[in-house]
Amino acid sequence: MDIQNVLNDAVKYAAERMEDGKSAAYIPELAKEDPRRLGACISMVDGRSFTAGDWDHDFTMQSISKTITLIMALEKLGEEYVFSKVGVEPTGDSFNSIVKLETRTPHPLNPMINAGAIAISSCLTGAGYSFEDYLNTVRQLCGRSTITLNENVYLSEQKAGNRNRAMAYLMENDNVLDCAAEEACDLYFKACSVNVNTRDLARYARLLANNGTDPETGRRIIDSRMTCIVKTLMITCGMYDASGYFALNVGLPAKSGVGGGIMATLEKKAGLAAYSPGLDAKGNSIGAYYVLQYLSEKLSLHYFSAEECLI
């Protein structure tokens, strides 16, 4: 199978279907992004990689950072402690919903929603880990030492972040946080505002697909239990309140962010990433979704595909 051709076709297919996408308006700096941008990368465990479109355009990780703060917290503080702070259940609500903190439990239902990621950020801050520690982890997981913070997006997130602050203060009031609400939010805003491109995310996804061992060096970078936890949560909660729809139509563990990125893992074989800033009503990138849906269909990537996987 000519994977490069299929990827090129996937990008064409997506480009014809994304005109309704709107860049995230609630963070003014993200609203400036051109919703017609579209790019993708596949990074294979066997060392090959394939790119198409705006694959090397920088965009902010946004919610994809939630997988990395989770990995850090699991590795540094342990599974038991982390899951005493947040749960592992999907919410069925939007990513920035506050409602269940009040009506159900002060502990966020999972680490892939904003409240959960803010709680995880508080655990890291409370244990003495800084944004620099986070950034170094991102650089290691993506395999690029020049990854940096997008200062303008960070400032914009801070200005537009009162909904996130409201959740943080509610959790601080209920003794869920390990540091002050403002400190937890600051790490969270910065983590969301790190610039990456699709190759960075595909390489990170490849590491997850390979259960935490770098396929090029054979070195273990993430504990395999942690990769199992993160991929499971990506399946059940990674695509916001469209996780079930994505599981049905694409069938890969995936995480999206309102910067327009989606990364997905193909067990033991590859990491995939696609990017387009135009979002649907749930906050998922329309172009990136169609790239992954096309690849899944044409290459039989769905975890329950009856056909043999073609890559």
Tell me which of 23, 43, 51, 62 binds ligand GLU, using CB under 6 A: 62
Does residue number 63 form part of the binding site for ligand GLU (CB under 6 A)? Answer: yes
How long a stretch of residues is the chain?
311
Does residue number 257 form part of the binding site for ligand GLU (CB under 6 A)? Answer: yes
Which tokens belong to 68?
């990395």
Burial class (CB in 10 A: 0-12, 13-18, 19+), 182: exposed
CA 171, CA 164: separation in Å to the nearest integer?
11
Q: Which stretches within the chain are classed as H helix?
A: 3-15, 28-31, 65-77, 79-85, 99-103, 114-126, 131-142, 151-159, 162-173, 181-192, 198-209, 224-237, 243-249, 286-299
Tell me which of 95, 134, 246, 289 binds ligand GLU, using CB under 6 A: 95
Which tokens belong to 145?
């030492």
Of 95 and 290, nearer to ligand GLU (C-beta) is 95
Of 96 and 236, nearer to ligand GLU (C-beta) is 96
Contact letters (x/-) for ligand GLU, 179-198, by CB under 6 A? -------------x------
Tell the smallest beta-carbon distance from residue 16 to ligand GLU (Å).
25
Tell me what percent of the chain is helix, strand and coil, each rounded to the nearest 5. Answer: 50, 10, 40
Does residue number 114 form part of the binding site for ligand GLU (CB under 6 A)? Answer: yes
Tell the smallest beta-carbon distance from residue 156 to ligand GLU (Å).
10
* Residue 179 near residue 171, CB atoms below 8 Å: no
**Residues catalogued as catalytic:** 63, 66, 188, 240, 258
Which tokens belong to 11?
């990008």
Does residue number 157 form part of the binding site for ligand GLU (CB under 6 A)? Answer: yes
Does residue number 283 form part of the binding site for ligand GLU (CB under 6 A)? Answer: yes
Does residue number 164 form part of the binding site for ligand GLU (CB under 6 A)? Answer: yes
Of 95 and 246, nearer to ligand GLU (C-beta) is 95
Site residues, ligand GLU (CB under 6 A): 62-63, 95-96, 114, 157, 164, 192, 257-258, 283
